[in-house]
Amino acid sequence: MSSEGSLRDQILTSETARNIVDYDVTSAFYDKSYVGLWLFEVIGRALDDLNAWTEETKEQIFPQTATWGLDYLEQEYSIAPDPTLSIQERREQILERMSRKIPITPYRIETVVQETTGFSATVIEHVADYAFQIYVYLKGSYNVDFDALKKKIDRIKPSHLSYEIRTVAETNAELQYKILAVAQSCSRYEIEVD
């Protein structure tokens, strides 16, 4: 290997360049070649830049890690750019739009409720015609934004279904049920033909 303060140590600052020279079976030959070492250094720097760019680009594919790639993701999911939103809000907007393409099942609704509130939830189907109930199980101290939860559920649920949100909270070892929100009711229209 090279000695302290050698030409190789002075020129090669790129880790990739060092790996290339170490890989070569004739590395001792290049230890004394000023031009050869600089060629490896330039190649190493270019590969370092390419690796950094590749890693950064990988992060832009996923909304959870994207920064400058959010513009492209918003375009892909037909979301109007809003410069007033924070990066985290833009990410949430994209993730929500992505979830619309997933069929909405009771499990999916439970997952959305859990992500929004931080508490476990259960969806009970067919409590009435075209209706379901959501039970949110609150524990300890809680501060849940039910308006935000209602907005998210309204966006993902099938439009012909109505729902109600109920909370189940442990208080003095007793369970209390409380209706917090009743969603939209179905309207009925009749058409008469003369």
Residue 38 lies in a domain: yes
Domain span at 54:
7-61
Are residue 29 and residue 107 in the same domain, yes or no?
Answer: no
User: What value does the mean pLDDT take over residues 77-99?
Assistant: 89
Tens digits of per-residue pLDDT, 107-146?
A: 989 999 998 888 999 999 998 899 999 999 988 777 888 8
pLDDT band for position 187 (cuts 50, 70, 90) = very low
Distance CA 146, CA 99 (A): 20
The count of domains in the chain is 2
- Comparing C-alpha atoms, which of 164, 94, 83, 99 is closest to residue 130? 164
User: What value does the mean pLDDT take over residues 69-83?
Assistant: 89
Distance CA 69, CA 58 (A): 10
Residue 95: burial class (beta carbons within 10 Å; 0-12, 13-18, 19+): middle
Model's pTM, two decimal places? 0.43
Residue 182 lies in a domain: yes
